[in-house]
Amino acid sequence: QSALTQPPSASGSPGQSVTISCTGTSSDVGGYNYVSWYQQHPGKAPKLIIYDVTKRPSGVPDRFSGSKSDNTASLTVSGLQAEDEADYYCSSYAGGNLGVFGGGTKLTV
């Protein structure tokens, strides 16, 4: 299982929207609707913010949204806020139960 491909960095100004891509193959992202996204602030544990491609766990603001087209999943953060500055990781089911992660994207606000 190869890691999913994410851009190393992304940026936006407060109030703007930014989209982070996550590219895989037909064996992972493209083959299943089991994509998730995690937010990680420096020195902190990751936090699940999107699962099942588009669903948000309780307590996650609706400024965070997910989508998928073919082998590429995307995370969009709307109305950027300073606290959104963090690393973001995508993950996809790829057979088995461990999933595969992307390399991460550092979002600068």
The residue among 53 and 80 lying less far from other proteins, judged by its C-beta, is: 53
The two structure tokens encoding residue 84: 């959104």
Q: Give 21's strand partners.
A: 74
Q: Give 51's strand partners.
A: 55
**37-47: burial string, b at 16+ Cβ within 10 Å, e else:** bbbeeeeeebe
Residue ranges in 82-101 that form contacts with other proteins under rule CB under 8 A: 89, 91, 93, 96-101
In the complex, what is the shortest distance from the CB of residue 13 to other proteins, in angstroms, rounded to a whole number? Answer: 26
> Could you tell me if residue 96 is left (phi over 0), alpha (psi between -120 and 50 degrees) or otherwise beta?
left
Kindly state whether residue 13 participates in binding other proteins, applying the rule CB under 8 A.
Answer: no
Site string for other proteins, 32-71 (x = CB under 8 A): xxx-x-x-----xxxxx--x-----x--------------
The residue among 13 and 97 lying less far from other proteins, judged by its C-beta, is: 97
3-class SS of residue 67: strand
The residues that touch other proteins, with contacts defined as CB under 8 A, are 3, 32-34, 36, 38, 44-48, 51, 57, 89, 91, 93, 96-104
